[in-house]
Every structure is written in C-alpha cells, then in structure tokens.
Structure 1
Amino acid sequence: MSSGTETAATDRLAALLAEHASLESELADPAVHADPARARRLGRRYAQLAPVVETARTLDTVRADLAAARELAAEDASFAAEAESLEQRVPELEERLRSLLVPGDPDDDKDVILEIKAGEGGAESALFAGDLLRMYLRYAERRGWSAEVIDAVDAELGGFKDVSVAIKSRTAEGIWSRLKFEGGVHRVQRVPVTESQGRIHTSAAGVLVLPEAEEVDVTVDPNDLRIDVFRSSGPGGQSVNTTDSAVRITHLPTGIVVSCQNEKSQLQNRESALRILRSRLLAAAREEAATAASDARRSQVRTVDRSERVRTYNFPENRISDHRVGFKAHNLDQVLDGELDPVIDALTRARTAELLAAGS
C-alpha cells in the first residue's frame, strides 16, 4: 500500500471512530428515541461502524501486547512464543481493518424493494419467477427479515408476470448490503411442466433490487404526478374487481410509471405505488451520479434476455452458477429453499477485493 493510501486509510479510520463516538452520544439521548425513524437510522449506522471500532481497538491492544512481550522475551525466553503468536495476529487484524475501511455503498443500511419480472420463456418464465419469489421469501425468513408482497400480476398457468416485494430488517442489519448483487437476469434450465417430450428448455426472469427510499431521501412533488385509478384484474376476488381500487402513478419529469393493484383499498395501492416510485427515483439518481465503472447496479436488468444472464439455475444437474464470480454449487434445491448466503458471500468478497485493488 502506498504512503498516500495509508494516510487516506488513517484519516478514514479517525473519521469513522469519531462518528461512532458521536452516534453513541446521540443514541444515549432519550430525546432521539422520540423520533423512531431517526433512532432507527442512527442505530443502523452505529451497528454498521461497530466492526471497524472493534477491530481497531483489538489491533491497538495486540500491538501493545506485542511490544510488551518483545521486551519481556529479551529477558525471559518463555515469552518468545507469545511474542511470535502476537506477531502473526497483527497482519491478520491489519488486513481485516483494511477491508473494513473500504468505502461502503451509501445504501448498504437500507431496506429494499425487490421486483421480479417474467421474461423470455412464456409460462415457464412466469413459473420460474414464482420460484425466485419463494427463494427470496425463504431467505428473508432465514435472516429474520420481514417480507411483504406489495404488488403482483399473476400468470394464467401459475407463477407471476410481475411481482414486487418489500423486504425490511427488524434489526440494524442493512438488507441492501446483502441483496444488491441479486439484480440481473436469472436463467433457468429444466423440463417445463408443459413439455410432453421431456426436453430441457431455457427461460429467464429478471430481478431488480432497489434500496427503499425514505421520504427524507427523495422528495416527490405532487404536481409532478399523474394518478389514474382503474379496476383491478386477476385473482383479487370480487371485492377487488368491482371497484376502481387499482392505481397507476406516472412521474411526469422522468416518465417512470408504477402500477399497484394488490390491495383492496385504493389508498393502500396508492401508498404502495409511491413506495416503489420513491425507490426507483432514488436508484435513478444514484445511477446518474455514479460512473459506469463503479456503479454497483451495472448488472441490473436492462432487458430480460437470456444472453445477459448473471446466474443460471440448472435443475437436471441440481447446479447453481453465478457467472460474475465463477461461483458453482450442486445444491440448487437448498438454494431455492433460501440458502443464498454462500453465493452472496462470494459476490461480496469479489466486490471488496475489487475496491481494495482500486485503492492500493
């Protein structure tokens, strides 16, 4: 690491330690907790900084212990082994701290809205979209997150043409930090239930992951919105289909259109549509501000085309392959049941390595 990089890392560590101390002071103030949303934001950031502070403090302790052990070893050989053990710990802790000091994504502590869209493959693609939804719902359950389907367009033979789900953390854990690499085209290879000859087909579904924007993140001017209401369609029941409860919101400056019809109440559908709209506007603003090389969403869905795949789910071989990092595992059944951590960990490590290489 160059001296300039070392200086930058030292300055960043000092800034993060100061921020952690400031947050600790704020969270000790009862007045802060009168505003639950603010307390939650501060708590998340505090928890996010905890590994940095803990590692830095441990490194300082080990370095001090090493200096003392070396002094004692000069007089008493029995301390030599302890000094050697501490010498091995120092570079390990330094590397861990270096990784933790890599500038994080500003959205890492946010909840997400995840959208799954059927693409090429017709009915089979819609069924696969349903499989992906179940996978993410099971993963959320395993992590202790809450998940709420906020809009869904069902397909005739099962599955979904389009489905949106809001995933929230019940703790300080940021969901975007775990799910941000899920965006992209997911390809499935299997024998469809509609296939009479037993041939393997390939189809695709697109996943779009958006950090959920809070009102403080994005200001939406009501004058910029065109809101249309219409009669819901699909398996919503008679009470849904007999009233104009579905809502379509068009954001006039950007042309972004969001429709929601999952709820029976027009007001509920309006709120759900606004949640999705705010998140799409936040994602658009972040993409515009980021360069193509550093944009974490560069692999998100553009067109649901099988050739743009980020991951393949091969049923005959029970294999999952993530093409961005060369990850392969033959436990597809377990992955579809929500065991996503190994592939997400591989993607996270690759991104951290990329950032470390860029800063060295």
Structure 2
Amino acid sequence: MMERLKQIVDEYETLEHQLSDPEVLSDPTQLRNVSKRYNDLGPVVETFRRYEARRGDAEAAREMIDGSSGDERELLQSELDEVAAELPVMEAELRELMIPKDPNDGRNVLIEIRGAEGGEEANLFARDLYEMYAAYASANKWKVETLSASTSDMGGYNDITFQVSGDTAWRNLKFEGGPHRVQRVPVTESQGRIHTSSATVTVLAEVDEVDVDINDHDLEIDVYRSSGAGGQHVNTTDSAVRITHVPTGVVVTMQDERSQLQNKARAMQVLRARLYDLAEAERSAELSAERKAQVGGGGRSEKIRTYNYKENRVTDHRIGFTVYRLADILAGDLQMVVDALSADERSRLLAEGGAD
C-alpha cells in the first residue's frame, strides 16, 4: 500500500503542474478531466502526508529517547504512545480512501423495467417495481421523469424507461440492475395458486455528449406515427422516432412526447447511456459479466432478488440478505437492502486492496 501511495503522490504533483499548463487550461475537456482526478486524489494525498509526518515524529522521538531521562523521557514516550495509537487508525483511513471511486458517482440514472416471464402478471409486477423506485426516489428527494412507457391490458407495464435525477441516485440505485422475481397469487388466478413471474431492470448512468462520441453517419433515424394512448397530436402526426446505432445494433424508440424533436432528444439521451454502458463493459471483463447478469433472460432461474408475498419476504440472492418487510420495501423503504449491498461492495473492495 505504501508504494502505491507514493505513486499517487507523484501523480497528484504531476496533475498540479498540469493545472497551470496553458495547453490544459485552453482545452475544456482536458481541464475537466485533470481537475476531477486532482480533486479525487486530494484527500488521499493529504491523509498520506499527515501519516508520513506522524511517522517522522515517531522516528525523531525514538532517536532522542535513548539519551533522555526524567520528564523529557516521559514526554518522548508519551509521543511514541500517541503515534502508535494514531498510525493504525490513519492506515485504515487510507485504505478506505484508496477504494476506487465509482466513475459514475454523482450522475443521474436511467432505469428500464420490462415485464419478462409470467405474461400479464409480469407486467403488473413491472409496475410494482416502478412504483417502488418512484417512492424510494421521493423519500430521497430525487426527481423522477418518465421518458417512455408501454402499458399492458390490465394497467401494468410492458416496459417503462424513466430518469432519476439526484446527486446520490447512482450510488443507491446501481445495484438494482438484473432480473427480479415475484412469488404471489396473481389477480388473474381464480384458484388461489401461487405463481412465479419476473421483470428485468436495467440501470444506466446518464452521460453527457462529451462522454460518448456518436458519429451522425452511424445513425439510422426513422419517424413514424405514434400508437397507443396520447393527446390530440400524438396519433395524428409522424412524431415517433426510432434511432438505430448501426455499428452496435442498439435501437431506441420514443413516442411519448408531442413533437418529433422532443422524442429525438429523449432517444439520443437513452442511446448515449446505452453506448456508454457498452463501452464500459468492453473495458472490463468483470463489468461485462455484471451487465449480462443485469438483463439476463428474465427466466425463473436467473434472479437477483425475490419478493415472496406469502412469507412477507424479500431476499437479495447476491449477498444472501433476507428481510421480512415486503410491504415496506415495495412502498419505497428500500434503504435497508441498498445499505446491505453497499456494505458488501465496500468489503469486497477493501479485501481486493482497492488501489486505483
């Protein structure tokens, strides 16, 4: 860890010089990246310098104590005892600070929920999940805005995409991606039998245009007449937009806004997030596996969490966490689950040595 900390100090000092370089100052993107990295490393460097200073104090006291006596010796021994108590605490603080910071921390979140296995019951469960996240967002004073939604015959969601805006939204919602499973008696079940259904949740970080380079020549943009419920203009004009990113095959459609321009802007917002997610997955094999696990096939055997109505139970299978407060969680009291997942992530990063 000490060797890595010295490397961080060297990088910090290099960044400090770059912040006064005219070439960096004249490039807004480079200046933003350098400033962000510099600010991220600041607390680590400050703590390490305090740590080194206290180690220096201890070394000086050890050199002086052999030739001392009386009150001076007691004072030097007291100094050594203080440093001996402080250094382990500071080392623990440094380990915490060196846990890699999530690059998406602070970003807004795009969430896509789709009914998967279970027919209409899956769509109704998708609505339950949306309402859970909306209530959780409200409790945290985050803003929720629906980007697109396709309702099913009984009022569920075939799929819904919405944005959650808030400084801590990503930090808390990033764990939600994956297949969610529900076990309950559906409203369509006449004999009271418990069914198992599922819905998939995909969590994406919202990104700016500067974060993803999209070549206009790589896009196929189709406009068509919206379908489904809408206002007086929705079904009478070619306002719906479908954008295909040819190199990756990613397709985004939007039709809920009144104008073609609004739908195009919404579609590009989601497209940027999906392409950013793909790029991140390609850069990390581990992340790639996580993203595949997020979408999955929506089958009963693939799940990150189960909501069991009969037992009043919610179980997150990734960490073996179970709580018997189903109604509270579906009403938006999700923090207990999020805290358990956050603690598990922190423990894993600490165990890995988290030095980036």
Which range, TM-score by smaller chain?
0.7 to 0.9
Find the residue that maps to 2:211 and give its secondary structure. Answer: coil
Which among 103, 108, 114 is matched to residue 106 of structure 1?
A: 103
Find the residue that maps to 2:210 and give its secondary structure. Answer: coil
Which among 6, 11, 14 is matched to residue 7 of structure 2?
A: 11
CA distance 1:53–1:113, change in 2 (3 Å):
farther
Deviations 1:34-71 (A, max 9, x none): x9x99999998788667657866886798799999999
In structure 2, list runs of 5 or more residues that go unmatched. 66-70
Q: Residues of 2 paired with 1:68 and 1:114: CA distance?
A: 57
CA distance 1:269–1:19, change in 2 (3 Å):
same
The more displaced of 192-201 and 56-65 is 56-65
Q: Residues of 2 paired with 1:155 and 1:206: CA distance?
A: 16
CA distance 1:20–1:151, change in 2 (3 Å):
farther
RMSD across aligned positions (CA): 3.6
Which among 317, 332, 340 is matched to residue 346 of structure 1?
A: 340
Q: Residues of 2 paired with 1:230 and 1:88: CA distance?
A: 70
Residue matched to 2:269: 275
Deviations 1:283-309 (A, max 9, x none): 111111212378653531131112110
Residue matched to 1:232: 226
Residue matched to 1:258: 252
Residue matched to 1:314: 308
Residue matched to 2:201: 207
Q: Residues of 2 paired with 1:132 and 1:21: CA distance?
A: 49
* 1:97-246 superposed matches below 5 A: 97-169=94-166, 173-246=167-240
CA distance 1:140–1:197, change in 2 (3 Å):
same
Q: Which has the larger radius of gyration?
A: 2
One-letter amino acid of the structure 1 residue matched with residue 74 of structure 2: E
Deviations 1:106-151 (A, max 9, x none): 2233222111111001111111111111111222222222221101
Residue matched to 1:28: none
Q: Please report how far the alpha carbon of residue 22 of structure 1 lies from its aligned counterpart in structure 2 after TM superposition.
A: 8.7
Residue matched to 1:248: 242
- 1:229/1:247 contact within 8 Å kept: yes
One-letter amino acid of the structure 2 residue matched with residue 75 of structure 1: E
Identity of aligned residues (%): 46
One-letter amino acid of the structure 1 residue matched with residue 115 of structure 2: A
Q: Please report how far the alpha carbon of residue 179 of structure 1 lies from its aligned counterpart in structure 2 after TM superposition.
A: 2.0
In structure 1, list runs of 5 or more residues that go unmatched. 26-30
Q: Residues of 2 paired with 1:182 and 1:108: CA distance?
A: 15
One-letter amino acid of the structure 2 residue matched with residue 168 of structure 1: S
Q: Please report how far the alpha carbon of residue 90 of structure 1 lies from its aligned counterpart in structure 2 after TM superposition.
A: 4.1
CA distance 1:135–1:73, change in 2 (3 Å):
farther
One-letter amino acid of the structure 1 residue matched with residue 7 of structure 2: D
Q: Please report how far the alpha carbon of residue 92 of structure 1 lies from its aligned counterpart in structure 2 after TM superposition.
A: 3.6
Q: Please report how far the alpha carbon of residue 18 of structure 1 lies from its aligned counterpart in structure 2 after TM superposition.
A: 7.8
Find the residue that maps to 1:241 and give its secondary structure. Answer: coil
State TM-score, norm by structure 2.
0.81
CA distance 1:307–1:76, change in 2 (3 Å):
same
Match status 1:302 vs 2:296: yes
Q: Residues of 1 paired with 2:36 and 2:199: CA distance?
A: 32
State TM-score, norm by structure 1.
0.80
Number of residue pairs the alignment of both structures matches = 343
One-letter amino acid of the structure 2 residue matched with residue 225 of structure 1: L
Q: Please report how far the alpha carbon of residue 271 of structure 1 lies from its aligned counterpart in structure 2 after TM superposition.
A: 0.5
- 2:181/2:196 contact within 8 Å kept: yes
- 1:186/1:205 contact within 8 Å kept: yes
Deviations 1:186-209 (A, max 9, x none): 111112122222222111000111
- 2:180/2:303 contact within 8 Å kept: yes
Q: Residues of 1 paired with 2:45 and 2:8: CA distance?
A: 12
CA distance 1:11–1:49, change in 2 (3 Å):
closer
Residue matched to 1:287: 281
Residue matched to 1:75: 74
Residue matched to 2:68: none
- 1:73/1:83 contact within 8 Å kept: no
